[in-house]
Amino acid sequence: MINGAHVLLYSADPEADRAFLRDVLMFRWVDAGEGWLIFRLPPAEVAVHPLESEDDPPEGEHALLGAEFYLMCDDVEAVVQSLKSRQVRCSAISTAPWGKRTTIRLPSGGQIGLYQPTHPTAYDLDS
């Protein structure tokens, strides 16, 4: 039985990004040893999108699928304002057919997505 999913974020500065997830986004965590933090995420869902082109294959030694990481929220403007008050940089909010979106800049310089969906969601379906 599958009982969860584990998301990997590759970072040029993992310690800073771990501190960001812990201290700014306030995700609960466990220490797997030697400061290797594993964070509890909000409820999640997965969607399968086509590759943009045949020249855009999945990368990696084991040919894992490419992925993007988005956090979801009910009010993207309010979340961006809350993050701004904690000195977090977000990109301009834009509207897509599937919701309002922005990106959150991590201390390492990497970015993760944040969006307010306008599509039906699956993360709160009853088991």
Per-residue model confidence as pLDDT tens digits over 22-64: 999 999 999 999 888 999 999 999 988 887 765 555 554 555 6
What is the rounded average pLDDT for all residues in the chain? 88
Structure confidence at residue 4 (pLDDT)? 81
Task: Determine the Cα–Cα distance for residues 121 and 106; give it in Å rounded to an integer.
Answer: 26
DSSP state of 73: -
Task: Determine the Cα–Cα distance for residues 103 and 89; give it in Å rounded to an integer.
Answer: 8
Tell the burial category of 104 from Cβ atoms under 10 Å away from its Cβ (0-12, 13-18, 19+): buried
pTM over 0.85: no
Task: Determine the Cα–Cα distance for residues 112 and 70; give it in Å rounded to an integer.
Answer: 6
> What pLDDT, in 10s, does the model give residues 80-101?
999 999 999 999 999 999 899 9
